[in-house]
Amino acid sequence: MKTQVAIIGAGPSGLLLGQLLQRAGIDNVILERRSGEYVLSRIRAGVLEQGMVDLLREAGVDRRMDKEGLPHDGVELAFDNRRVRVDLAAHTGGKQVMVYGQTEVTRDLMEAREAEGGQTLYEVDNVQPHDLDSDAPYVTFEQSGETRRLDCDYIAGCDGFHGVSRQSIPAERLKTFERVYPFGWLGLLSDTPPVSDELIYARHERGFALCSMRSQTRSRYYVQVPLEEKVEDWSDERFWDELRRRLPEDVAANLVTGPSLEKSIAPLRSFVVEPMQYGRLFLVGDAAHIVPPTGAKGLNLAASDVNTLYRLMLKVYREGRTDLVPRYSQTCLKRVWKAERFSWWMTSILHKFSEEEDFGARMQQAELDYVTGSEAGLTTIAENYVGLPYEPLED
Ligand code: APR
Ligand code: PHB
pLDDT at 356: 79
d(CA 226, CA 207): 10
Closest by alpha carbon to 185, among 66, 267, 89, 101? 267
pLDDT at 395: 84
- Which ligand does the CA of 44 lie closest to? 1
Parallel/antiparallel/unpaired status of strands 125-130 and 138-143: antiparallel
**Protein fold of 5-70+99-177+269-352:** FAD/NAD(P)-binding domain (3.50.50)
In the chain, where does DSSP find H-type helix? 12-23, 36-41, 50-58, 63-68, 88-91, 102-116, 236-246, 249-254, 298-319, 328-350, 358-372, 375-385
In a 13 Å sphere around the CA of 260, the CA atoms on its Cβ side amount to: 20
Which ligand 1 atom is nearest residue 165's CA?
7
> Given a cut of 90, is residue 45 above it in pLDDT?
no
d(CA 304, CA 284): 9
pLDDT at 346: 98
- Which ligand does the CA of 139 lie closest to? 1
- pTM for the complete prediction? 0.98
pLDDT digits (tens, 9 = 90+) for 74-88: 999 999 999 999 999
Return the domain boundaries, the chain: 5-70+99-177+269-352
106, 195, 212, best to mutate for ligand 2 pocket (most atoms within 8 Å of CB): 212
Which ligand 2 atom is nearest residue 213's CA?
2
Mean pLDDT, the chain, rounded, equals: 97
pLDDT digits (tens, 9 = 90+) for 16-26: 999 999 999 99
Q: Are 198 and 86 in contact (CB under 8 A)?
A: no
Q: Would the CB of 108 count as within 6 Å of ligand 1?
A: no
Q: Torsion angle, CA of 169/181/297/309, rounded to 10 degrees?
A: -10
pLDDT digits (tens, 9 = 90+) for 239-255: 999 999 999 999 999 99
